[in-house]
Amino acid sequence: MESRKNNSPRKILVTAALPYANGPIHIGHLVEYIQTDIWVRFQKLRGHQCIFIWADDTHGTAIMKSARDHQCSEEEFIARMSTEHQRDFRGFQIEWDHYGSTHSDANRLICHEIWSALNRAGLVVKRQVVELFDAETGEALPDRFVKGKCPKCLSPGQYGDNCDKCGHTYRATDLVEPISALSGKPPVEGATDHFFVRIEELHDFLEDWTAPGVHLQEEVSNYLRGHFLSEPLRDWDVSRPAPYFGFTIPETDNQHYWYVWFDAPIGYIASTKEWCDLNNQKLDDWWRNDDVEIHHFLGKDIQYFHCLFWPAMLKTAGFNLPTREHIHGFLTVNGEKMSKTKGTFIKAETYLRYLDPAYLRYFYAAKLGSRLDDIDLNFNDFKAKVDTDLVNKVVNLASRSAKFVEAIGLSPTYPDDGGLFAQAAAAGERIAEHYEECEFSQAMRLIMELADRANPFVENAQPWVLHKDPSKVQELQEVCTIALNLFRQIAIYLAPVLPEFAERVGALFNDPIVSWKQSQSPLVGRSLSKFTHLLKRVELKDIEAMIEASKQTEATPTPAHLIDDATQSTTVEWQDSDEALQAEPLAAECSIDDFARVDLRVARIIEAEHVPEAKKLLKLKLSLGGDNVRTVFAGIKAAYEPAQLVGRLVVMVANLKPREMKFGTSEGMVCAAGSGGSEVYLLAADSGAVPGQRVH
């Protein structure tokens, strides 16, 4: 990293892994995205030209299936996901320069370009592959889309790659009594042509490129070199037979598509291309230019794609290679994997309804180092860290001194503070180095040391005593000038982590925080804006409510073909109690004609929103197909979030007499089970049903 030695601005292109357009963002994803955002903001604050290029990853079998489940086109589905993703990221104060999609013209073009280069280099070969297909849809089935019994131990509900009970690995074709996740029918075996990239040809290059400590962390190098590079690299299968959602491979008569992992990283370049077009820049100035640093942030689960295939592709096509790949570990919550049943599988959207994003940003920063270690989100720790560090130590500096000088402002010259400001200014470089090396936890530690030195100063200077003696106004002003400047210095150092907080601090001093350099000189002789609370403590009840809400959102029906191991397992013994039945005994017998008077229909929720004044109600728009849309007020507010309802198929009473309610007319009823309150479980239709169909 020679460029770090001199002070000229660097040109830095940063990417985070592309979120897969198949589901919502959760707090596990956010480890990486917050990490990336902090690093980018840091570079910008330091005055470097840094762009954060991002996109949704949109191709593959999983997307096809999800689109089908939602009964919309893939394009519609990924558009919706992209909107949701970006909304969540904004909520966490993540700021990118461009957000693209791998399903774009730009990406198609660059895929073609790289494909030609691979062909020209003679790296592409075609071979027959025997694999499983869905008997109904004709789609090839990835291993994760085939379930059956482990051929070794006969454990049921295992995926097509290995058995999580006995650990045995096998091929999907070896499964006993296999079932396709798409149709639920037994898959059929077939042989098709696949295209492979012979990356073994680049073995020497990769051996060299993966040297420890250069572009990769040491553990990553060890892993790649010890495992993959110690033997000839296998040819990489980069194609999938039609039907597939993705880009067709040229000259294959639309019969072959690029595998999603082929075009996903190319999305980094394509999204840059789009940004260039919007900003009057040339792509080659960013991807074919030795003056540019390229930094990828990604999780350890996708190392091999980014550290073997990706450099091989870039090298062959003559693009810049990554300067550095920053690979992080996973998130555990309270020491365990995130769990849907324990309510620790927390979606970004859910978090934001209960807690300030600044908390999570700071907590992750305080935990993150440059290595692949997993980090644990322990909620006791979370609250202690945020309250103690940010509120009790940092914010306290301002809240205990600002009001004394509200009327008179800061001293005209910076008083003698015994070297505190200068000492903290000098610490800036070390803090910056830690940010640079992604050692955020070290940076946070150093910053908190500054707060720990500033608070005793205030303690000894006793502004509250000076305040009582009118002859000591000047001394009081000086003490507060020092305290507030030490506070502001800390806020600048924290700005990459807490951008919104930094903004408020800027407003307090009437001097926006825009550069790291501002930490090096104190502000004097200026008035202050009125001090307002900058950050409040974490409320335990909010955490509890968030966890509770995360549990509830998982009590939603799952399409039959996705039901998990436990429900397919033959060893499960059903032990449902009769509690529910006792609580609400069966109604009097009715005739079939009685039942027929109630017209139950499948409907799709096309809109869902909170009714501000209503305690229990959500306002839903239900579509019965075509122009037939009903407005229904449903008492499910405690159990469901509007956003998770949209797109879902439900069962409604369609011929119920409309009812005038306080907030409008309700034109029907949504069927749900449960005792009420948060115990509400909507009835769903299995995939295949369409809006308007009657329930018999």
CB of 420 to RNA, least distance (A): 13
Q: Least distance in Å: CB of 356 to RNA?
A: 11
Structure tokens, 275: 């940004």
Task: Give the number of other CB atoms < 10 A from CB of residue 2.
Answer: 5
* Two tokens, residue 386: 């945020």
Task: List Cα–Cα distances, 665 to 51, 532, 621, 631, 634, in angstroms.
Answer: 50, 43, 12, 7, 11
What b/e sequence results for 230-252 when a residue is b if at least 16 CB atoms lie within 10 Å of its CB, and e otherwise?
Answer: eeebebbbbbbbbebbbbbbeee
| Residue among 68 and 403 whose Cβ is closer to RNA | 403
Report the residue number, 13 or 18, with the smaller CB distance to RNA.
18
Q: How far is the CB of 565 from RNA (least distance, A)?
A: 16
> Least separation, in Å, of the C-beta of 374 and RNA?
5
Q: How far is the CB of 221 from RNA (least distance, A)?
A: 9
CB of 229 to RNA, least distance (A): 10
Residues 6+ apart with CB under 8 A from 377: 27, 331, 332, 333, 334, 363
Q: In this structure, are residues 272 and 287 in contact, taking their beta carbons and an 8 Å threshold?
A: yes
Q: Minimum Å distance from CB 116 to RNA?
A: 23
Nearer to RNA, 174 or 511 (CB): 174
Return d(Cα 585, Cα 573) in angstroms, integer: 25
Residue 361 or 393 with smaller CB distance to RNA? 393
How far is the C-alpha of 668 from the C-alpha of 599, rounded, in Å?
10
CB of 201 to RNA, least distance (A): 14
541 versus 696: smaller Cβ distance to RNA: 541
β-pairing, 600-610 vs 618-623, is: antiparallel
Question: Which CB sits closer to RNA, 329 or 691?
Answer: 329
Least distance CB 132 / RNA (angstroms) = 8
Query: Cα(460)–Cα(675) distance, rounded to whole angstroms?
Result: 60
Q: Angle at CA 536, nearest 5°, toward 534 and 541?
A: 160
Q: Which is nearer to RNA, 338 or 600 (CB)?
A: 338
Q: How far is the CB of 45 from RNA (least distance, A)?
A: 23
Give the residue with the Cβ less far from RNA, 528 or 600. Answer: 528
Three-state secondary-structure class, residue 377: strand
Nearest approach, Cβ of 390 to RNA (angstroms)? 9
H helices present in 523-578, as ranges = 540-553, 565-568
Output 172 or 672, the one with its CB closest to RNA.
Answer: 172
Does residue 224 contact residue 325 with C-beta atoms inside 8 Å? Answer: no
* 647: CB partners within 8 A, 6+ apart: 70, 72, 80, 604, 605, 606
Q: Which is nearer to RNA, 171 or 185 (CB)?
A: 171
Supply angle C-alpha 314, 315, 318, rounded to 5: 80
Our CB check for RNA shows the closer of 148 and 329 to be: 329
**152: its two tokens:** 């070794």
Identify whether the C-beta of residue 136 lies closer than 8 Å to the C-beta of residue 182.
yes
Q: Does the CA dihedral 556-559-562-566 come out positive or negative?
A: positive
